[in-house]
Structure 1
């Protein structure tokens, strides 16, 4: 059989199309464990085309394979829990194989809290501890408080009348700054306590803890530590999950989440419900029955590769019941609302970034009148608003500068609780801040951070807080040292409390209090060799004008009238 010329061309064209389609389907990124050459499933791959800025997200299959979808030359970042992140440049239509190396001590983990810019943990002079998602899964913890206790040396938690009180290196919750995705959580009482159960634990990606007053980027309360809970971002076009658990004391937890990562928009949402019958043990440990509800929603939009807009909203309700045998006809209900927004603009070469953010946090406290059809009687509410503008500039790899301005506003108002006196009242305070931080690499292995923060507080005047941190690497040793000053402004409760505690005693604030001033010193040495990692740390906190309490009793109970505590 003889084919004419046109038929031969058609057959040739058909074979070329089939060959091209077959070839394109075989363009893959393949991942293996460097140690045992086993495929790595479920690793995250992010492609960003250099010329267009277009992004693609993939997850490796059970055989460690993901397709290469790019149409132009692109940067690729490959991350997998417990392994060092790989960055590279890839071409369209080209297959590549990568051997991923285990990161036993999280040294390759990227952190942001101490500098507000992404840096490897191994390259941060500020003493920072990171708790990864792998650490959380390995510990089997069911709450942020549990995982912090398991992973942070010197941290203890105890319950009192004001809730969970945390201590780090001898300093309680008043001296710890709590953040979620870099934004402050409002304190819920005079003790500075914060209910961390408001965070959906299933959405936590990692927790970063900056030890002591080491960073100039944070103000009052950042004396003992800064704890930043960083939540996950969706990586797939559509993703979701549902989980539930049953534990002792009829404790059950349920959670539902959804996420979407499109070309320019990412969206994530979650909802959860936790409840327990509580317990009252003979040795004194007690947890009242309670039910929690919470929702969290985040949306991010990138109209161009250099511009991003982020919005977030979080709602939380905590209802604390009495034990069935209790004669109390009133129980407590707390609600919390968080709204926030952030926008950032980067230069074309990504060396300069300007961001502006505002965050609104409000806490409500009610009494539920059980004998009045569960009628709500508002006790008080606390409002916290923080606005910030930050500019980051890096001219080269050796140095980087961060500078910004910040304004914080706090308000407490009362209705029926009379915690500020016999009549409904409103107390407020604001502070303005200017801060700057400069990081410089003197030589390879020797880096330092110098920073300072100037604060004007409407109640107390001015405060200046300089900081210095140094890091030196030699062989398998890493030495870090730091010195910094800090202050803690008295809370509105410490200044203005004036209430009768169920007729048993009165609590008074002191409007003449002045800020506490602290000097923080730290020194650590770390040794890493193969699968061995050992570290030794020392610290010294010196606090002047420390705010404490003392007992005042009636004149007819004591000849002097005052008993110091």
Structure 2
């Protein structure tokens, strides 16, 4: 119930008994009191200002639940409260823009999926997890290994955890650049339900229904979402579209039961179905493209507490991904094009044991097995499919040497079919200088085995004159990562400032290489002999030929700064800045697609007892190398894209009876690539390096009910 404007309230017609009374207000910490009814006297509850810095429990640093303040390794966390206060964050890509050292690009299926960079390391080397399990999506087969984070909703999430630097010691292959762990929420009341509807320009519409319950030994969460977008076109003088229209459905069901005092069993099923339709200019002329993809994932987790303090966790996980691509030449020809089909099946099982030894030691160890399998039409060398098995053993020891110093040492051994055994060590330490100041240092080695796409891809593009074939002779990528940082949290947790210096050395980077246009059988034979290609891939004539090689080594280093401050009980300020130096160590050239400087500033306003909240965020990026071409003299010519800034605004108002309304405006200043709308002398559009749709607005209404 809501109080009067002066803070008084009365509860009438209450049955005699003892009750738990909780009072809360925006900007203040909740206060709880046990009361008897009928009350003997007027009860006073005093609320104190809420901390701007939450005490957050995370799992990504060690696979154990730990308070973030006590971690040896830095883990950046975006909590549910922060997502709600920022308001406009509907997707994971938007959330990640709040973190230092993380860059996400607003994208679409045809404009380029919204991938991520962590400390200058690309998305292919970053592992994305949902509740600690990998998200299936044909990583490495489509979109250059990018999982589209613009399509990952935040509605079902409790928080987003980001581990930076090589994290293979805990999470294995693909974690060279770091880990993004999406943690789903758990209900906190006997019953709650939320219904939300929103709409905006460009045909944007969203609908969501969440329902959850929590009993003494059981909880459950169910969520269904629908999203649609009509797409956009930054080159209206051409047939193709920049951002393709899509329709998407998401669903999640999660439950857990405490079967005995020492054993619990939980499970989750999640999936989506997406339909994207766009237009492109193909080698046979203008064409219409149709892509339908879907995924279903299921996870079963059992937890035992054995021998008093030993914890055993066993998990079984399976995930499937399917894609069907088709197209036709634009009317009036309407000739069907060759279809493509891809199926991925991923299965994984693991067991983890954690055992404390006294009050200062924690031992952890685990075993894992996984299989990743692909099959498809016009996507792989062998349409019958390819598979890779991985067997893992890992261990970690955490030692609280003193009340101030804590160290962690660990290692992971991966044995993957076709590749040599890889060992990934980890060292970390934290030292609490004062009650408010903590310092951390960590080292980790990571590796990434070539994915099945890089090994066995065979794709003849129906849209352009090129083909891509895999390379079964690739070597794994490897990396060494160092992180040094400190964090200060003010008394009463009303302010926080953090600094982190980093360096990542990556070797044997896998990249695509262009072997040129192959016109005749003799040219093809020469290329196969010169490059050592596998002729079973059956390269076609009359197309550019691209494949994969271990071609580069890179280093990324820099400094990250971030802060949060409560200026008043209603106004808070936050921001971050990252300096990045990223270079190819073989050519001594700067890496393309990296911003040397980037950051954001955010102000939030939440007046007390008004039901209103608003936020304004400015995100800025320095100029960067968009493309690089080789010159006749063996040098390189870079195309520099201009710096830019993005402003996003959000406001919401609580209307009463659980109803609230909101307004979000993204890209308030209508920032777009400077080549948008520019035509070259050849009467073709100038290249667009930043496919922003421009200013977009979205309005919505939500209704929530919670039974206490």
1:333 aligns with 2:298: no
How far off its partner does 1:101 sit? 6.4
Change (3 A) 1:277 1:554: closer
1:39 to 1:147, Cα distance in 2 relative to 1, 3 A:
closer
Distance 1:27 1:420, change over 3 A: closer
Shift of 1:324: 11
Q: Which residue of 2 aligns with 1:51?
A: none
Residues 30 and 257 (structure 1 numbering): CA distance in 2 closer, same or farther, change over 3 Å? closer
Report what 1:392 is aligned to.
354
**Equivalent position SS for 1:379:** strand
Match of 2:251 in 1: 295
In 2, the alpha carbon distance for the partners of 1:192 and 1:452 equals 27
Q: CA deviation at 1:321?
A: 1.2
Could you tell me how far 1:278 is from its partner in structure 2? 1.3
1:305 paired to 2:261: yes
Q: How many residues align?
A: 491
1:506 pairs with 2:467: yes
User: Are the counterparts in 2 of residues 214 and 482 from structure 1 also a CA contact under 8 Å?
Assistant: no
Contact 2:484–2:502 (8 Å) recurs in 1:
yes
* Contact residue 115 and residue 148 of structure 2 kept, 8 A: no
Aligned pair in 2 of structure 1 residues 529, 147: CA closer, same or farther (>3 Å)?
Answer: same
From 179, 182, 203, the equivalent of 1:229 is 182
Which fold has the larger relative contact order, with Cα–Cα distance below 8 Å and residues 6 or more apart in sequence? 2
Task: Rate the CA distance shift 1:118–1:101 in 2: closer, same or farther, 3 A.
Answer: farther
Is 1:315 aligned with 2:271?
A: yes
1:460 paired residue among 419, 435, 441:
419
Retained in 2: the 8 A contact 1:31–1:100? no
Task: Measure the CA separation in 1 of the matches of 2:447 and 2:412.
Answer: 11
- Aligned-pair CA distance for 1:157: 2.3
1:367 is aligned to 2:325: yes
CA deviation profile, 1:470-494 (whole Å, cap 9, x unmatched): 1111123221111111100000000
Could you say if the C-alpha distance between residues 425 and 263 of structure 1 is closer, same or farther in structure 2, counting changes exceeding 3 Å? Answer: same
Offset of residue 259 of structure 1: 1.1
* Alignment check: 8 A CA contact 1:239 1:258 kept: yes
Q: Which residue of 2 aligns with 1:9?
A: none
Per the TM alignment, residue 354 of structure 1 is displaced from its structure 2 partner at its CA by 0.5
Q: Which runs of 5+ in 1 are unaligned?
A: 1-21, 42-63, 70-94
Checking the alignment, whether the CA contact within 8 Å between 1:317 and 1:333 is kept in structure 2 is: yes
Cα distance change on mapping 1:240 and 1:141 into 2, 3 Å:
same
Paired position in structure 1 for 2:84: 137
Question: Is the CA contact 2:163–2:178 (under 8 Å) kept in the aligned structure 1?
Answer: yes
Aligned partner of 1:412 in structure 2 is 374
The runs of 5 or more residues in structure 2 that have no matched partner are: 1-13, 38-42, 532-545, 552-629, 631-708
Q: Please, which of 74, 83, 91 is the counterpart of residue 127 of structure 1?
A: 74
1:200 positional shift = 4.0
Asked if the contact 2:241/2:279 (under 8 Å) is kept, the reply is no
Q: What is the correspondence of 1:114-193 to structure 2 with a 5 Å cutoff?
A: 114-139=61-86, 140-157=88-105, 159=107, 163-190=113-140, 191-193=144-146
Distance in 2 (CA, whole Å) between partners of 1:493 and 1:66 is 60
CA–CA distance in structure 2, aligned partners of residues 30 and 543 of structure 1: 52
Q: Please give the alpha-carbon distance, in whole angstroms, between the structure 1 residues aligned to 2:406 and 2:69.
A: 11
Please tell me whether the aligned partners of residues 126 and 215 of structure 1 are also in contact (alpha carbons under 8 angstroms).
no
Greater mean deviation of Cα atoms: 215-224 or 357-366:
215-224
Counterpart for residue 17 of structure 2? 25
SS in 2 for 1:364: strand
Deviation at residue 266 of structure 1 after TM alignment? 1.6
**CA apart distance, 1:265:** 2.2
4+ runs deviating over 6 angstroms? 66-69, 95-101, 555-565
Residue 242 of structure 1 pairs with residue 232 of structure 2: no
d(CA) in 2 for partners of 1:308, 1:526 = 36
The aligned residue for residue 469 of structure 1 is 428
When the two chains are superposed, the root-mean-square deviation of aligned CA atoms in Å is 3.5
**CA deviation after TM superposition for structure 1 residue 355, in Å:** 1.0
